[in-house]
């Protein structure tokens, strides 16, 4: 804006100077004072500021345009940066939503197993999907989802290696395993199954365990479907057959190709 | 263990044995084990192939698997 005003002023100066020199030129011609020297002097007075003004205005215009281009480029870069940051934000949000939906799906599947087994509520059945985590030196069975009377519930903090518990044995043997724990025998049974005394004391005492391996087509164990109940004798051969037959439903979830990319 | 509990445990062992379970002793703990049936392994294979087809389709290969049967309405 300031530059425009300066350019306008310079234009006015050039116009006024030219008019004055033209007027003087005319008056002198009318008065008969025309002389070639005066012609040159008056022309120089009129044309000089006109040329200087035009040159200055042109140069200012060019600089002004360059600055405008710079501002436009800067604005475009800022908008691109803003758009990229929004894309990153949207991607993170979509990723979180997909992970949440996946978690709900696996919880629903555990709930289906829970209802399918039709075990008396007095047994306080829990259905837990354990996933094999090979990221550490000794593979660990990590809880993925759990259902109990009343629906899906929070996962517990405890984890076990593949050398511990009924689930660990099920993993190593690639076979279903059922264990009944007589009342008062929980800690000794857990010691038998590979837990240290301090670890066994941290576990919630249960009376029955049924674990089925979730295998792929090469019989590699991808996870363990673990069921436990409050009292001994909750699981028989029929319940084991049902639980084992539903394990392929978990295979698709555990081998989802998009899982790693989430 | 009381005599009743021992009797019950013995009965349970027999039932599991009859159903095709192996009875393994780990210390004082009894574990009943049964191998994964082939039908379950086959079912798992179907689900894994389903995932592979989805992956192929997502990657732009609409053909999916080379021996996939065509689904007709």
What pLDDT digit, counting tens, does each position of B6-62 carry?
888 889 999 999 999 999 999 999 999 999 999 999 999 888 877 777 767 666 544
Does A33 share its domain with A127?
A: no
Q: At what angle do helices A2-30 and A36-117 cross, to 10 degrees?
A: 160
Domain assignment present for residue A182? The answer is yes
If DSSP codes are grouped into helix, strand and coil, which group holds residue A170? helix
Roughly how many angstroms between the first and final C-alpha of chain A, as a whole number? 52
Regarding whether A231 and A126 lie in a shared domain, the answer is yes
* A174 C-beta neighbours (distance < 10 Å), count: 14
Question: Band of the pLDDT at A97, cuts 50, 70, 90?
Answer: confident
pLDDT at A33: 65
Distance from the Cα of residue A1 to its chain's centroid: 46
Q: Smallest CA–CA separation between B25 and chain A, in Å?
A: 10
A260 within domain boundaries: no
Pairwise CB contact (< 8 Å): B48 & A251: yes
Asked if residue A242 and residue A125 are part of one domain, the reply reads yes
The verdict on A143 and A26 lying in the same domain is no
Total domains in the fold of chain A: 2
Domain assignment present for residue A259? The answer is no
Q: How far apart are CA A212 and CA A148, in angstroms?
A: 18
**Chain A: residue whose CA lies nearest to B27:** A192
Q: How confident is the model at residue B68 (pLDDT cuts 50, 70, 90)?
A: very low
Has residue A203 been placed in a domain?
yes
> Do the Cβ atoms of B35 and A182 come within 8 Å?
no
Asked whether residue A110 is domain-assigned, the answer is no
Q: Find chain A residues with C-beta within 8 A of B10's C-beta.
A: none
Residues 54-93 of A with CB under 8 A from B: none
Same domain, A144 and A64: no
Task: With both helix axes pointing from N to C terminus, report the angle between A237-254 and B38-58 in degrees, rounded to the nearest 10.
Answer: 20
Residue A220 falls inside a structural domain: yes
Return the DSSP state at A160: E
Largest separation between any pair of C-alpha atoms in chain B: 67
CB-based contact B28 A216, cutoff 8 Å:
no
A82 and A124 housed in the same domain = no
Q: What is the pLDDT of residues A31-76, one digit of tens each?
A: 766 666 766 666 666 667 667 777 877 888 888 899 999 999 999 9
User: Are A161 and A242 contained in the same domain?
Assistant: yes
Answer yes or no: do A252 and B40 touch at CB < 8 A.
no
Closest CA to A190 of A168, A171, A211, A215: A168
| Interaxial angle between packed helices A36-117 and A237-254, expressed in degrees from 0 to 180 and rounded to the nearest 10 | 170
A250 in the same domain as A150: yes
* CB pair distance less than 8 Å for B51 and A256: yes
CB-based contact B31:A179 (threshold 8 Å): yes
Please say which residue of A89, A104, A132 terminates a domain.
A89
Distance CA B62, CA B73 (A): 18
Q: Are residues A189 and A80 in the same domain?
A: no
* A209 shares its domain with A126: yes
Of A69, A89, A109, the last residue of a domain is: A89
**Which pairing describes strands A126-133 and A221-229: parallel, antiparallel, or unpaired?**
antiparallel
Let me know whether A247 and A131 are in one domain. Answer: yes
Q: Which domain holds residue A74?
A: 2-89
Structure confidence at residue A50 (pLDDT): 67
Q: Which residues of A183-221 are buried (b: 16+ CB within 10 A; e: fewer)?
A: eebbeebbbbbbbeeeebeebeebbbbbbbbbbbeeeeb
For A132, list phi and psi in degrees, rounded to 5. Answer: -80, 120
Q: At which of A89, A104, A137 does a domain end?
A: A89
Residues of A in contact with B26 (CB under 8 A): 169, 192-193
Mutation target to probe the A interface, by most A beta carbons within 10 A, among B47, B49, B54, B60 is B47
Residue A43 sits at the vertex; the CA angle it makes with A38 and A45, to the nearest 5 degrees, is: 95
Residues in chain A with CB shorter than 8 Å from the CB of B15 are 236-237
Are residues A129 and A85 both part of a single domain?
no
* CATH (domain of A198): 3.30.450.40
- Interface touch A173/B33, C-beta < 8 Å: yes
- Is the minimum CB–CB distance between B59 and chain A shorter than 8 Å? no
């Amino acid at each position: 804006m300031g530059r425009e005003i300066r350019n306008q002023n310079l234009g006015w100066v050039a116009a006024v100077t030219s008019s004055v020199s033209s007027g003087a030129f005319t008056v002198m011609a009318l008065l008969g004072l025309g002389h070639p020297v005066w012609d040159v002097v008056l022309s120089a007075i009129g044309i000089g500021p006109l040329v200087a003004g035009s040159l200055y205005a042109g140069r200012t215009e060019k600089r002004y345009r360059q600055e405008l281009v710079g501002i436009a480029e800067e604005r475009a870069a800022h908008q691109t940066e803003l758009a990229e940051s929004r894309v990153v934000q949207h991607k993170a949000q979509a990723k979180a939503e997909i992970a949440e939906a996946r978690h709900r799906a696996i919880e629903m599947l555990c709930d289906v197993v829970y209802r399918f087994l039709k075990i008396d509520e007095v047994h306080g059945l829990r259905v837990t999907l354990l996933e094999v985590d090979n990221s550490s030196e000794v593979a660990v069975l990590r809880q993925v989802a759990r259902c109990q009377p009343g629906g899906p519930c929070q996962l517990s903090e405890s984890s076990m290696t593949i050398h511990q518990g009924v689930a660990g044995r099920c993993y190593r043997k690639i076979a279903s395993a059922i264990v009944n724990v007589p009342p008062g025998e929980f800690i000794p049974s857990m010691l038998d199954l590979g837990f240290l005394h301090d670890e066994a004391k941290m576990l919630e005492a249960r009376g029955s365990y049924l674990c089925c391996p979730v295998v792929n087509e090469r019989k590699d164990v991808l996870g363990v479907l673990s069921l436990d109940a409050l009292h001994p004798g909750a699981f028989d051969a029929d319940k084991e057959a049902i639980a084992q037959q539903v394990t392929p439903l978990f295979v698709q979830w555990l081998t989802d190709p998009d899982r790693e990319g989430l | 263990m009381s005599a009743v509990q021992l009797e019950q445990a013995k009965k349970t062992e027999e039932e599991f044995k009859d159903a095709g379970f192996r009875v393994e002793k780990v210390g004082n703990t009894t574990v009943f084990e049964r191998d994964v049936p082939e039908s379950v392994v086959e079912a798992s294979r179907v689900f894994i192939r389903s995932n592979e087809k989805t992956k192929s389709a997502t990657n732009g290969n609409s053909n999916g698997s080379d021996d996939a049967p065509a689904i007709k309405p």
